Structure 1
């Protein structure tokens, strides 16, 4: 399919619909590439996967310092609020695509927004240590994308002419398409997955002990009793040495913890490896959707135990109450930027099962106002309510007090914004942050008035199970 006026091409190609095999063959896993993979196929959440490489522009921010790296032009520092820097670049490359397209993502910006970008929406204290090298914003603008439709078993190549214009843009899109076709001829199946251990479980350390985590839960409950908050999401960070390549870790994670919003994102500063079950924001033709998760139980060791745990979660008044509080928060957040009366809750309680856990999930939808854009939507909703608490700002202040280090990308959001404005973003949970030979991962849960500290601590371990299994532990 050709659209010379818009300077982009989309073509169905003959290639194996295996995103991981396509990714590693076409990109080599080098910085600047990306893989957004639905490893748990679901018609609503996991129908498509996308990969790309060789972005024509990269934006990184840390604090009020932005770095814009345009291909062939070097790095340019800009002093600005990060949300302003993001908006300017999204507007610069905004391009309506016209007729219906075969993929929801037809090229655009791919990357993540760290949890700490919330500091540039609300004024927050700065007590926790910022000890990881990752930027707070990473957005790479891709003119070439390979998309896989798992439902149809089809593979598409999309190429744009950015940053060129006019006839030069069309020629660039054509050249990129031919280059991808040539590379596709070299795709080979993935090798057998290595199941060796990373190291011993004793090598995994946390910034909390069981006792100190329980004390933090009690402190959070004190704030609840005082009327500061209704609930807060408290997490602990684990750290271990990584003895094999990050790509191998991703392959293991996708096997042991498949999820609809998996990702492999290599940066110069390190690698993000994620297998998230949670959608933060989806935007399609102005329709907005968010799907917060609240409520978790581990999978059972037998079918009977599995069913008992499923029933326990479904009937848990505590977990339902937690989810209702977050639904109210998310409805309020969406109401800031959506049409009056358009915010709905089409799914109040849904129980979803994953390899290691059961989750309780809701769906909230709305219609984005005509005078609002993706940055307005982010600023109204970021970070997600399910991983902060309610009220959100006070919960984030308490998180800053009780957690010893900043979260970095953890509980931020990773995904894409298309040139046409279509978007899909996860919540960065079930995620590794890899830098040097160190692997960091974080798990948490909601603390409410009736929380039992030991059970809250155990929930963080339950959520870590799939991540530890990927490490061979």
Structure 2
């Protein structure tokens, strides 16, 4: 059930501040003006159930009780989603459901893979809150809605409470924006350390080329992780990042183990009814310093046969993964080489769609396709084995997925890139790229810095602003 909150349309993070002190709040934010990708932002708080998985053990907190299970977390999550299954009209993208993340390292539950990379940042493998009270902001129509399924109480009473709370907050605070004033050039010099030296990263790229030469793989995604001291709050860092690098699949998610600060441009998987969609990104060039250079870089990416070939490999991989749970003949590529523009880079993007088999549900779709092929390589299993061999540390949330599973069966998940994990006084983030036979090692190494640029800039600005 939904209700418009009359007279309220404001900046999403300003509205989030109304609920930020509640247990386990979240913001899924669309930070770009786009009818499809950037239309809605979603806010939730105080989940009635908390679902967490770590190293083979699942913990479920509900009604003051804690249950621990050794069951497969994907299968158990599916059971809980079925338990709270609701029927609803799809007038908004989300009315209530599970919100959180799947970490990249859950791949080890889906396939038999080696585990040699060090686990040096301790967070859950899977973390979802089950929410029955949410606020949805429609950026296109400039409207704000309260939403509930009425699982935790009477629908009308829940909606009354949400509307009253939002209106009272803004009557008292007068808040209309969370814009934070800063000079983009005014930064604190910050040291960023990598889990690779440049020499070792280039050696790892040489090994990938050798695997390609031997026929093991066609492509592998190699990344490096950066670490920096954080001299500000995660909240302030997100306020900077969302201005430096607005993105359609951004999020701010405080957890017990840390805070996720994300500005991802990439959708992993959306499910609406039985219609699934994935949007892999492959191919990146930096924005130009002048209008002429900017246009030249855009044209160069559009014309790049290497990047097109790289993306095509992943499109074929995604078609195959979708085929596991899709109706025969329903998988189709609706966009192949689309250029998308972001504040610091251009990306080459494709869209693949399919209709799920009647018995297939959201968690089945995740299990069939996770992790996304754009951040593994092809063939996927061998590529993931090589990633584990060459990358020194586990990826945890990086290249996993953040998003929601609605109680009505819908789902929308991103690929966790351009994302910072704030833990203690440290900021962790990664960047990488797909390596193919004709990849240039120096250029691939430089590309990781192009992709990390907005995150580094945001940390330096936020560190200058302090707490």
TM-score (norm 2): 0.94
Identify the residue that residue 14 of structure 1 maps to in structure 2: 7
Preserved contact between residue 4 and residue 143 of structure 2 (Cα < 8 Å): no
Q: Secondary structure at the match of 1:472?
A: helix
Identify the residue that residue 464 of structure 2 maps to in structure 1: none
Select which of 86, 93, 99 maps to 1:104: 93
1:115 aligns with 2:68: no
Deviation at 1:18, TM superposition (A): 1.4
- When the two chains are superposed, the root-mean-square deviation of aligned CA atoms in Å is 1.7
Q: Per the alignment, do residues 30 and 465 of structure 1 end up closer, same or farther by CA in structure 2, a change over 3 Å counting? A: farther
Q: Per the alignment, do residues 31 and 309 of structure 1 end up closer, same or farther by CA in structure 2, a change over 3 Å counting? A: farther
Q: Secondary structure at the match of 2:452?
A: helix
Deviation at 1:14, TM superposition (A): 2.2
Q: Per the alignment, do residues 375 and 204 of structure 1 end up closer, same or farther by CA in structure 2, a change over 3 Å counting? A: same
Q: Secondary structure at the match of 1:450?
A: coil
Select which of 388, 402, 406 maps to 1:414: 402
Q: Secondary structure at the match of 2:427?
A: strand
Select which of 91, 95, 99 maps to 2:86: 95
Preserved contact between residue 129 and residue 406 of structure 1 (Cα < 8 Å): yes
Identify the residue that residue 61 of structure 2 maps to in structure 1: 69
1:51 aligns with 2:43: yes
1:40 aligns with 2:32: yes
1:85 aligns with 2:71: no
Uncovered stretches (5+) of structure 1, i.e. residues with no partner: 1-7
Preserved contact between residue 9 and residue 174 of structure 1 (Cα < 8 Å): no
Select which of 217, 241, 247 maps to 2:229: 241
Deviation at 1:472, TM superposition (A): 2.3
TM-score (norm 1): 0.93
1:160-199, aligned counterparts within 5 Å? 160-163=149-152, 171=157, 175=161, 178-187=164-173, 188-189=175-176, 190=178, 192-195=180-183, 199=188
Aligned residue pair count: 458
Preserved contact between residue 31 and residue 247 of structure 2 (Cα < 8 Å): yes
Could you tell me how far apart the structure 2 residues matched to 1:126 and 1:445 are? Answer: 21
Select which of 417, 435, 458 maps to 1:429: 417
Q: Per the alignment, do residues 382 and 181 of structure 1 end up closer, same or farther by CA in structure 2, a change over 3 Å counting? A: same
1:355-434, aligned counterparts within 5 Å? 355-434=343-422
Could you tell me how far apart the structure 1 residues matched to 2:383 and 2:317 are? Answer: 12
Could you tell me how far apart the structure 2 residues matched to 1:405 and 1:31 are? Answer: 31
Deviation at 1:13, TM superposition (A): 3.0
Preserved contact between residue 29 and residue 266 of structure 1 (Cα < 8 Å): no
Identify the residue that residue 3 of structure 1 maps to in structure 2: none
Q: Per the alignment, do residues 29 and 216 of structure 1 end up closer, same or farther by CA in structure 2, a change over 3 Å counting? A: farther
Q: Secondary structure at the match of 1:414?
A: strand
Q: Secondary structure at the match of 1:383?
A: coil
Preserved contact between residue 230 and residue 425 of structure 2 (Cα < 8 Å): yes
Q: Per the alignment, do residues 406 and 108 of structure 1 end up closer, same or farther by CA in structure 2, a change over 3 Å counting? A: same
Identify the residue that residue 278 of structure 2 maps to in structure 1: 290
Q: Secondary structure at the match of 1:27?
A: coil
Q: Per the alignment, do residues 278 and 29 of structure 1 end up closer, same or farther by CA in structure 2, a change over 3 Å counting? A: farther
Q: Secondary structure at the match of 2:277?
A: strand
Preserved contact between residue 344 and residue 366 of structure 1 (Cα < 8 Å): yes
Q: Secondary structure at the match of 1:283?
A: strand
Q: Per the alignment, do residues 29 and 206 of structure 1 end up closer, same or farther by CA in structure 2, a change over 3 Å counting? A: farther
Identify the residue that residue 127 of structure 1 maps to in structure 2: 116
Uncovered stretches (5+) of structure 2, i.e. residues with no partner: 462-467
